[in-house]
């Protein structure tokens, strides 16, 4: 047990029944559990717990945030490394990242890289105290404290989502696959019927044997029938008149479904009615989550029909519309943009005031400003934005200039961009501009990720209150998270409570991350049996 200042508030307890001890402490004092790394400790713990912890402090994730903030990006961040830096010992490298099956649980302690003979409890307490001290030294300590709490809460939610899984109907998936590809091939390695037929038709149209998966074979084959193309990318093929092009486009579409999300995929990643990707918290420099396995960042829209709620359950699907431009409006304090962002459809409002009602141009222009686009069509739109929304444009332009000059930028809560991998002197102008586009986008994308993280942490707490508070299967569960979208799987009688919790979480995140702002962060919520119906 640690006091507010991070020092030990009592002697260490030794417990024989961990689940009972966690449940008892959660009920009595709602502690913030401090541990070396959620991803290594919590997944194994989850199955044994009756009550899920409300809060934690993940030393490894926080170390990462602090090192970047202190412009020491990239130093080892495991507990052992932080401890060694504190004590002036040789700093061990981090173990390579890997999945949970990468190392047996038995050796989990070794992954902290603590020097032999070090008492882990002493190291945890000391590193935690040091991190508290460093948080207080941050540019905005309160924001940094919030970021560390949100990142740690995200780590709890990530492990729980992998544990609970996204409901995935094998029957619905089969129906989709069979409709698109034909019956499942029985022999190993054989193509589904429709793919084989398409491959044959492509060969016929080109008049020779080609592997439709090989651009190197396709380009000369197309040339032989008089079609000169620079690549076999789909946007190139769409402009080609030759019948082989349409067949190849169809082949590519179906082949991708088969190889990336077909029957073999399901056996590996969604074998028992649940899709369980592994989320990598802080896996993207911008603070977005990455995933390992199963391609969870890219479930094709055409397969969403396979995500089906259990009997007497519903999916509450909520997605934050136009999140990034709203973040830009809130961060920059630009009056005009904030007025547009106070409406439900930001782009429409923007179009009304600055683009003669042309919503598409308003959207293109604003996205171009946030991504650093400069080419043709968008150029005049940027000029309009500069004139009408000078404060917003100054924010993104200043972030770009900082990056071009080799500097670092920070998100709203203080997540800090990595330094460029090369010294400014060694960068070409093209490199510098590319890095400027990265830092320009970083401030927006990273701040949007913070809003999403805060929203999810708030929702997780509210959902716990709706359930029995325990770790049984009952009650609403977060089951999916993707950048600006969440899915809650809930018993149908709790749908209304979940919908309210979602709306309250969005508003709480707005207040926590951006304080007083007229900018709205609406969540569009659809309650459905099947993900495909959430549109």
Give the Cα separation of 34 and 54 in Å (integer): 12
Half-sphere exposure in the Cβ direction for 356 (13 Å, CA): 3
Give the Cα separation of 346 and 350 in Å (integer): 6
What 3-state DSSP class applies to 319? strand
Give the Cα separation of 479 and 115 in Å (integer): 38
Q: Are 135 and 65 in contact (CB under 8 A)?
A: no
Give the Cα separation of 424 and 405 in Å (integer): 7
Binding DNA (rule: CB under 7 A), the pick from 172, 284, 432, 532 is 284
Helix (H) or strand (E) holding 193: helix 193-206
Q: Are 147 and 414 in contact (CB under 8 A)?
A: yes
Regarding 199 and contact with DNA (CB under 7 A), the answer is no
Q: Which residue, 80 or 294, has its beta carbon nearer to DNA?
A: 294
Regarding 383 and contact with DNA (CB under 7 A), the answer is no
Q: Are 54 and 26 in contact (CB under 8 A)?
A: yes
Window 438-457: residues binding DNA (CB under 7 A): 438, 441, 445
Binding DNA (rule: CB under 7 A), the pick from 293, 357, 380, 518 is 293
Give the Cα separation of 362 and 384 in Å (integer): 10
What 3-state DSSP class applies to 8? strand
Tell the smallest beta-carbon distance from residue 83 to DNA (Å).
28
Binding DNA (rule: CB under 7 A), the pick from 282, 368, 475, 522 is 368
Binding DNA (rule: CB under 7 A), the pick from 19, 54, 180, 280 is 280
Binding DNA (rule: CB under 7 A), the pick from 3, 137, 183, 302 is 302
> Which DSSP state fits 405?
T
Q: Which residue, 290 or 348, has its beta carbon nearer to DNA?
A: 290
Tell the smallest beta-carbon distance from residue 16 to DNA (Å).
39
Regarding 73 and contact with DNA (CB under 7 A), the answer is no
Binding DNA (rule: CB under 7 A), the pick from 53, 167, 282, 294 is 294
Options 71-79, 213-221, 419-427, 468-476: segment touching DNA (CB under 7 A): 213-221
Regarding 111 and contact with DNA (CB under 7 A), the answer is no
Neighbours of 366 (CB within 10 A): 28
Tell the smallest beta-carbon distance from residue 409 to DNA (Å).
12
Give the Cα separation of 249 and 513 in Å (integer): 44
Q: Which residue, 76 or 368, has its beta carbon nearer to DNA?
A: 368
Tell the smallest beta-carbon distance from residue 428 to DNA (Å).
10
Binding DNA (rule: CB under 7 A), the pick from 260, 342, 466, 497 is 260
Binding DNA (rule: CB under 7 A), the pick from 240, 339, 371, 406 is 371
Q: Which residue, 205 or 290, has its beta carbon nearer to DNA?
A: 290
Regarding 251 and contact with DNA (CB under 7 A), the answer is no
CA dihedral angle for residue 66, residue 67, residue 73, residue 76, rounded to 10 degrees: -130
Regarding 200 and contact with DNA (CB under 7 A), the answer is no
Regarding 190 and contact with DNA (CB under 7 A), the answer is no
Distances (CA, A) of 470 to 19, 188, 230, 473, 477: 11, 44, 58, 9, 11
Pairing assessment for the beta strands 166-167 and 274-275 based on DSSP bridges: antiparallel
Options 29-37, 58-66, 73-81, 234-242: segment touching DNA (CB under 7 A): 234-242
Q: In what order do the strands lie in the sheet with 477-481?
A: 477-481, 485-491, 313-320, 523-528
Regarding 228 and contact with DNA (CB under 7 A), the answer is no
Binding DNA (rule: CB under 7 A), the pick from 24, 30, 224, 234 is 234
Q: Are 342 and 519 in contact (CB under 8 A)?
A: yes
Window 471-530: residues binding DNA (CB under 7 A): 482-485
Q: Under the phi-then-psi rule, with left for phi > 0, alpha for psi from -120 to 50, and beta for the rest, what region is 475?
A: left
Give the Cα separation of 278 and 170 in Å (integer): 20
Q: Which residue, 190 or 302, has its beta carbon nearer to DNA?
A: 302
Regarding 208 and contact with DNA (CB under 7 A), the answer is no
Options 10-18, 172-180, 279-287, 465-473: segment touching DNA (CB under 7 A): 279-287
Tell the smallest beta-carbon distance from residue 448 to DNA (Å).
9
Neighbours of 524 (CB within 10 A): 13
Tell the smallest beta-carbon distance from residue 372 to DNA (Å).
5
Classify burial at 137, counting beta carbons within 10 Å of its beta carbon; exposed 0-12, middle 13-18, buried 19 or more: exposed
Q: Under the phi-then-psi rule, with left for phi > 0, alpha for psi from -120 to 50, and beta for the rest, what region is 210?
A: beta
Give the Cα separation of 161 and 482 in Å (integer): 12
Binding DNA (rule: CB under 7 A), the pick from 115, 183, 295, 380 is 295
Regarding 375 and contact with DNA (CB under 7 A), the answer is yes
Binding-site size for DNA (CB under 7 A) equals 55
Q: Which residue, 134 or 415, has its beta carbon nearer to DNA?
A: 415
Regarding 235 and contact with DNA (CB under 7 A), the answer is yes
Query: Which residues lie near DNA (CB under 7 A)?
Result: 211, 213-217, 231-235, 237, 252-253, 256, 259-260, 265, 277, 280, 283-286, 288, 290-302, 367-368, 371-375, 430, 434, 437-438, 441, 445, 482-485
């Amino acid at each position: 047990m640690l006091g507010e200042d991070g020092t030990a508030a009592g002697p260490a307890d030794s417990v024989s029944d961990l689940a009972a001890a966690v449940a008892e402490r959660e009920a009595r004092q709602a502690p913030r559990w401090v541990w070396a790394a959620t991803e290594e400790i919590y997944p194994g713990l989850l199955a044994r717990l009756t009550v899920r912890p409300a809060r934690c402090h993940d030393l490894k994730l926080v170390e990462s945030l602090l090192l970047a903030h202190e412009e020491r990006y990239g130093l080892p961040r495991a507990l052992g490394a932080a401890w060694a830096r504190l004590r002036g010992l040789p700093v061990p490298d981090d173990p390579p990242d890997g999945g949970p099956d990468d190392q047996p649980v038995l050796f989990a302690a070794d992954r902290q890289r603590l020097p032999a003979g070090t008492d882990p409890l002493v190291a945890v307490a000391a590193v935690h105290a040091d991190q508290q001290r460093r948080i207080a030294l941050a540019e905005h300590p309160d924001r940094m404290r919030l970021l560390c709490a949100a990142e740690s809460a995200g780590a709890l939610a990530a492990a729980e989502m992998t544990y609970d899984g996204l409901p995935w109907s094998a029957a619905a998936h089969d129906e989709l696959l069979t409709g698109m590809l034909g019956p499942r091939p029985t022999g190993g390695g054989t193509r589904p019927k429709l793919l084989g037929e398409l491959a044959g038709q492509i060969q016929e149209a080109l008049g020779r044997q080609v592997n439709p998966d090989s651009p190197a074979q396709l380009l000369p084959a197309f040339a032989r029938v008089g079609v000169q193309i620079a690549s076999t990318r789909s946007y190139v093929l769409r402009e080609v008149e030759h019948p082989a092009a349409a067949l190849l486009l169809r082949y590519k579409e179906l082949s991708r479904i088969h190889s990336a999300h077909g029957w073999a995929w399901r056996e590996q990643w969604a074998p028992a009615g649940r899709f369980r990707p592994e989320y990598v918290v802080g896996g993207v420099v911008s603070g977005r989550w990455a995933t390992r396995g199963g391609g969870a960042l890219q479930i094709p829209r055409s397969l969403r029909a396979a995500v089906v709620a259990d009997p007497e359950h519903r999916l509450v699907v909520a997605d934050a519309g136009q999140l990034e431009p709203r973040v830009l409006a809130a961060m920059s304090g630009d009056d005009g943009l904030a007025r547009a962002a106070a409406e439900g459809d930001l782009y429409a409002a923007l179009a009304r005031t600055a683009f003669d009602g042309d919503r598409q141009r308003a959207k293109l222009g604003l996205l171009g400003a946030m991504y650093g686009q400069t080419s043709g069509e968008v150029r005049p739109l940027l000029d309009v934005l500069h004139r009408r929304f000078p404060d917003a444009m100054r924010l993104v332009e200043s972030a770009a200039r900082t990056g071009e000059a080799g500097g670092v930028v920070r998100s709203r809560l203080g997540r800090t961009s990595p330094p460029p991998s090369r010294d400014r002197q060694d960068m070409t102008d093209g490199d510098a501009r590319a890095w400027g586009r990265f830092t320009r986008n970083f401030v927006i994308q990273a701040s949007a990720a913070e809003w999403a993280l805060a929203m999810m942490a708030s929702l997780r707490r509210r959902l716990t209150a709706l359930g029995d508070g325990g770790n049984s299967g009952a009650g609403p569960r977060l089951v999916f998270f993707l950048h600006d979208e969440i899915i809650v799987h809930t018993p149908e009688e709790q749908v209304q409570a979940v919908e309210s919790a979602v709306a309250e979480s969005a508003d709480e995140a707005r207040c926590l991350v951006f304080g007083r702002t007229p900018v709205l962060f609406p969540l569009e919520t659809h309650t459905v049996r099947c993900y495909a119906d959430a549109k």
